[in-house]
Amino acid sequence: MAIRSVEQPEAATLGSSPARRLATARREGVEAHFGPTDPAVDLLRLPLVGQLLDRAVHSRRFQFAAILPNQIIFWLVIVTALIGVAHPNHNFATVITWFVWFCVVFLLMVGVGRGWCLMCPFGGAGEWVQRLSFWRRRPSSIGLHRRWPRRLARYGMLPSLAVFLALTWVEEFLNIAGPGKPILTGLLVSFIILLAVSMLFVFERRTFCRYLCPLTCLIGSVGSTGMVAGLRTRDRDVCLSCATKDCMRGSERGYPCPWYEWPGSATSNLLCGLCTECVKNCPKDNVGLFVQKPLTSVIAPLRRRADVALIVVVLFGLAIFQQVNALDVYGNLDDALNKLLSFPSYPDPVDYLGIVAVIAALTTGWIWLVRSAFARRSGAPAAGAPAVRRFGAWFVPLSYGLIPLMAVDYLARQLPKFWLDAPKLIGAVSDPFGYGWNLFGTAHLPIVNAQILGTGGVIVTQVAVVALGTLGAVYATLRIARRDLGPLTDHPRALAVVAAAAWGIGGVAVAALYVAMGAAT
């Protein structure tokens, strides 16, 4: 174990590379490209509310106060899961985790982006151990301080996707979110906390949160639909001329950015964990908390990432699997495969990965057909010529256009448990262990066994949510196709219509699946 000063400059985190990229971009005359990605509304500069919020984010206790309630809740989840009653409808652990929390966190992703990361108890626990402090600024931290290997960093958030796929299969296999036995929920939460603490002990800063957290691939992609743009510089020229880069190196006022993000180069909300360390560190008060129009980080990021594009099509495949597995036809297929492969029970890993892969392949294949049909074969402008036939130049932007539909598909899948069972939390708060307590007088209220919406209402809300996401996907794809793919084709309008129509048809198919499922949980 080593103890390292958190003020030690590290070449990989100083922000010089983003500064050079920004300077190069400006020399090439693409300043206008920054316009759509620079939100104009800074929450910290609003009258009255902004003053209160600005004072809060400059306090070292701010993130601790955001994390503490969730930290208490999730430790209560672990304790009640381990020693409470085994009935999932009467145990606080399963009731809050699967009937309420999962739906709320997906709603946060769609609307706020990485708002959950600000208050996450998993990364928070690891960070407190790493810093040996809840909120005070200490000059050193403990751990091995390893850097994430460069060969793995090239894959971006794909390791997170692998962890998410693995945990989802485990959850389905053990029926943890059914909800099944509460003890399994407690063990799952304990595993994630233990993984976060151990990784933050081995690697520096929030390496776990950026690369390995099972939710980061989902939050990073789904969060691009949200209105919170993240912490951004107010004046890029001030950042470019800053000699100290306190936001990245740290200072006596705050820690270095745990996410390795430089506000001066941020053009999307992909990796801003909203920890506010950059706000505290900036000696020139040049960092604000910005909001933007919905879908801005989908439509107009300066740099789109191939790992995000791949994550989107795979997560869309996983969302479809979680719909298909509620149909009778899937049960017959899974039973047949289990007998053939001598696998004990649902879900067979072959059909689990197979369905995800087939949907991802169909999505990718459609984009390949669009490129084959519309890519300009001659006479391309010099600036666009190298990318005209390159598949990645089409796959990445069109995959981004699918994000709104993928995002609402995950949200809609959580709605049955919420609408049908969320009131059980009212009783579980009074009787968290299921021992017959009535701490707050709410354990036996009639509402505890009520449903917010019946089966018909659940289906209607699912279809409505999917319809909204489909419209978002169509709109985003129209914008992306015209702006980014227009120079690569002779028929930009036809391309935009065909590409957007594909996600529209996909949205209709997703909505039809929810109708066929009949509000299955």
DSSP code string of 318-350: HHHHHHHTTSHHHHHHHHHHHHHHT--SSSPHH
Same domain, 226 and 356: no
Q: What average pLDDT does range 338-367 have in this prediction?
A: 93
Surface-to-core class of residue 161, CB atoms within 10 Å of its CB (0-12 exposed, 13-18 middle, 19+ buried):
buried
Residue 17 domain flag:
no
How confident is the model at residue 61, as a pLDDT? 95
Predicted confidence (pLDDT) at residue 17 exceeds the cutoff of 50: no
- Among 224, 256, 291, the domain-final residue is 291
- The answer to whether residue 6 sits within a structural domain is no
Contact partners, residue 226, CB within 8 Å, separation at least 6: 109, 110, 111, 112, 113, 115, 269, 294, 297
Task: Let me know if residue 153 belongs to a domain.
Answer: yes
Same domain, 215 and 310: no
Percent of the chain at pLDDT above 70? 91
Q: How far, in Å, CA of 46 to CA of 52, rounded?
A: 10
Question: What are the pLDDT digits (tens) for 416-437?
Answer: 999 999 999 999 999 999 999 9
Q: Is the pLDDT of residue 358 over 90?
A: yes
With the C-alpha atoms ordered 194, 195, 201, 205, is the resulting torsion angle positive or negative? negative
Q: Is 253 part of a structural domain of the chain?
A: yes
Which pLDDT tens digit goes with each residue over 235-259? 888 988 898 999 999 999 999 999 9
Return the residue matching tokens 């009639």.
446
Q: For residues 347 and 172, is the Cβ–Cβ distance under 8 A?
A: yes
The predicted pLDDT at position 387 comes to 67
Evaluate whether residue 121 is within a structural domain.
yes
Split at pLDDT 50, 70, 90, the class of 46 is very high
Residues 77 and 219 occupy one common structural domain? yes
Per the model's pLDDT, the better-predicted residue between 362 and 37 turns out to be 362
Element at 5 (helix H, strand E): strand 2-5
Same domain for 185 and 255, yes or no, is: yes
pLDDT at position 378:
57
Q: Does residue 367 sit in the same domain as residue 335?
A: yes
Provide the domain limits for residue 46. Answer: 41-291
Domain shared by 356 and 259, yes or no = no
> What integer pLDDT is reported at residue 300 of this predicted model?
85
Give the model's pLDDT for residue 240: 87
Strands (E), 119-225: 140-143
Which positions ≥6 away from 7 have C-beta within 8 Å? 139, 249, 250, 251, 256
Q: Are residues 310 and 371 in the same domain?
A: yes
**Residue range 468-478, pLDDT digits in tens:** 999 999 999 99
Q: Among 25-34, 267-276, 290-299, 474-483, which is the least confidently predicted range? A: 25-34
Both tokens assigned to 114: 């990485």
pLDDT at 316 over 70: yes
Query: 456 vs 26, which has greater pLDDT?
Result: 456
Question: Residue 263: pLDDT above 70?
Answer: yes
Same domain, 138 and 270: yes
Whether the Cβ atoms of residue 41 and residue 227 lie closer than 8 Å to each other: no
Is 21 within the bounds of a domain? no
Q: What angle do CA 469, 474, 475 make, to 5 degrees?
A: 95
Q: Is residue 312's pLDDT more than 90? A: yes
Asked whether 392 and 354 are in contact (CB, 8 A), the reply is: no
What burial class does residue 489 get, using C-beta atoms within 10 Å of its C-beta: 0-12 exposed, 13-18 middle, 19+ buried?
buried
Residue 300 maps to a domain: no
**Quick check: 393 and 387 in contact, CB under 8 A?**
yes
Over residues 469-513, the pLDDT tens digits come to 999 999 999 999 998 898 889 899 999 999 999 999 999 999 999
Q: Band of the pLDDT at 2, cuts 50, 70, 90?
A: very low
Work out the average pLDDT over 356-361. Answer: 97
58-87 confidence digits (pLDDT tens): 999 999 999 999 999 999 999 999 999 999
Cα distances from 395 to residues 191, 316, 317, 479, in angstroms, run 35, 15, 16, 15
Average pLDDT over residues 328-347: 89
Regarding whether 389 and 343 lie in a shared domain, the answer is: yes
Q: What is the DSSP letter of 463?
A: H
> How many structural domains comprise the chain?
2
Both 79 and 226 in one domain: the answer is yes
Q: 341 and 271 in one domain?
A: no
Amino acid 21: pLDDT: 45
For the stretch 117-169, pLDDT in tens is 999 999 999 899 999 999 999 888 888 989 999 999 999 999 999 999 999 99
Looking at every residue in the chain, the average pLDDT score rounds to 88
Q: In this structure, is residue 296 part of a structural domain?
A: no
The model's pTM? 0.90
User: What's the length of the chain?
Assistant: 521
Which of 291, 316, 350 delimits the end of a domain?
A: 291
The answer to whether residues 187 and 328 belong to one domain is: no
Residue 212 has pLDDT above 60, yes or no: yes
Among 262, 291, 320, identify where a domain stops. Answer: 291
Q: Percentage of residues in the chain with pLDDT exceeding 90?
A: 71
The runs of H, that is alpha helices, within 175-267 are 182-202, 207, 216-222, 236-241, 246-249
Q: Which two tokens stand for residue 226?
A: 């949200």
Closest CA to 418 of 492, 519, 300, 288: 519
